[in-house]
Amino acid sequence: TPTRRRTPSRRCFGSALAATAVLLPALLAGCSTTDAPGSTSSPSVAGTASASSQLGECLRDAGYNVPDPDLSKGVVVAPPEGADPDRYAEDFDACRSKLPEAQGGGSQEPSDAEVAEWQQSQLKVAECVREKGFEDFPDPVDGDFPGVQLSTSGASPEQEAFFACSNEFGPNATGSGE
């Protein structure tokens, strides 16, 4: 059996999960498939709905007031207002790990290609923040932004620029950035 290795990039996925309000590719990977022609298998809407409700219920059991995420469209994983981002990231990861692997659960490690894509998108986020007037905003190191403290309540203008750029250029961006 292959061994799983913990890498700095994997650790950064966990911390960036809460801090950057990105969409989680691992959850989406199990929700979309490409079937062979003539195949009758397809992603189960009921399975996706069940995984969504499991994830939402687990987060509520952990004390967060959150709705069930729509895993068929992606999931924004920003911590709820007032929640500690690091604690939320830990709780979210624990809840996600309880999902079936087909819905992004388990202890999946990102592929080298996913890590490279993540790094490229984070570089675009950093460039965007600098273009918005924050020239000292750092490039990411192993997928994380050193020295950048993010909060979901009382966000500074730099944080607001970061969140806007993350939505536009971050992994699975919702904006129009390429």
Could you report the per-residue pLDDT of 15-61, keeping only the tens digit for each?
444 333 333 333 334 433 334 444 344 445 455 668 888 888 999 99
Kindly state whether residue 151 falls inside one of the protein's structural domains.
Answer: yes
Which pair of tokens denotes residue 141?
């190191």
- Which residues, 6+ apart, have CB-to-CB distance to 101 below 8 Å? 30, 108
Specify the number of domains making up the chain: 2
In whole angstroms, what is the distance from residue 27 CA to residue 5 CA?
20
State whether 158 and 127 are in the same domain: yes
Same domain, 119 and 164: yes
Quick one: pLDDT at residue 126?
92
CA 10 to chain centre: 12
Residues 75 and 153 placed together within one structural domain of the fold = no
**What tens digit of pLDDT does each residue of 47-102 get?**
566 888 888 899 999 999 888 876 666 555 677 888 888 898 889 888 888 887 77
Confirm if 48 and 72 have CB atoms less than 8 A apart.
yes
Same domain, 87 and 24: yes
Query: Does some domain include residue 38?
Result: no
> From the centroid of its chain, how far is CA 116?
15
Helix axes 45-61, 85-97, angle to 10 degrees: 140
Residue 4 domain-assigned (yes or no):
no
Query: Of 126, 125, 99, 83, nearest to 26 (Cα)?
Result: 99
What pLDDT band is residue 107 in, cutting at 50, 70 and 90?
A: low
In a domain, 39, yes or no: no
Range of the domain at 81: 10-29+44-103
* Domain shared by 117 and 147, yes or no: yes
Position 32 scores a pLDDT of 39
Token pair in block for residue 158: 């730099």
Q: Is residue 22 part of a domain?
A: yes
Pair (49, 93) in one structural domain: yes
Q: Are residues 131 and 164 in the same domain?
A: yes
For the whole model, what pTM was predicted? Answer: 0.42
